[in-house]
Amino acid sequence: MFDGQRDANGAIKIDFTGLQPVAEAPAPRFPPGTQVYETPQSYVVRSIVNGEDKILTRCSKRILSRDIPLEQFMKMLQTGKTDLLEKFWSQRTKRPFSAFLALKEDGTTGFEFAPRAPKDPNAPARPRRSKRKPTEPTAEPGA
C-alpha cells in the first residue's frame, strides 16, 4: 500500500480507500469536518478542502521503540501534548527516557521533557570520562 508512493513533498501517500475515521479532530485547533484516521503505521489528521486531500498532521504509531496509544494521540490533538510517556529508547545512548510528545505549529510532532530538579551545589562533582583511549603501559627499563 505504501511502496514507492510519494507526494510532491516527499511524504508517503496514504490510500484512504476503505479506511474509516476513528474520530473527529478537536475544534478549534482543526477546521470542522477534519477526521482522524488510523493506518497500520501512523495516525493521520485529514481534511478535504475543495475536493483536495490535505494531511494536517501525521504521527507514527511507534516512536523510538515505544508504541503510542490512540488515546495519547487524541490528547495531543486536544491539548497540544501527551501525558508523560516512559520508555522511549535513545538511539544515541541506548538508554530509556521519558518525554511528552508535543504538536508543533507546523503539524509535526516533537519531544518536550519534564523539568529536572536543580542540581545540588554541595554535591560532589562526578569525575569526567576521558574520550581518549588509555595508553598501553610501557615496560620499564631494567625490569
Query: Quick one: which of 75, 1, 92 has its CA closest to 40?
Result: 1
pLDDT tens across 11-39, in order?
667 888 888 999 999 988 898 889 999 99
Query: Quick one: which of 64, 62, 61, 66 has its CA closest to 44?
Result: 61
pLDDT tens across 44-101, in order?
999 988 888 889 999 999 999 999 999 999 999 999 999 999 999 999 999 999 999 9
Alpha carbon distance 130, 94 (integer Å) = 19
> The C-alpha cell of 104 is what?
508543533
Query: Quick one: which of 77, 3, 85 has its CA closest to 36?
Result: 77
Alpha carbon distance 94, 75 (integer Å) = 28
pTM of the model: 0.74
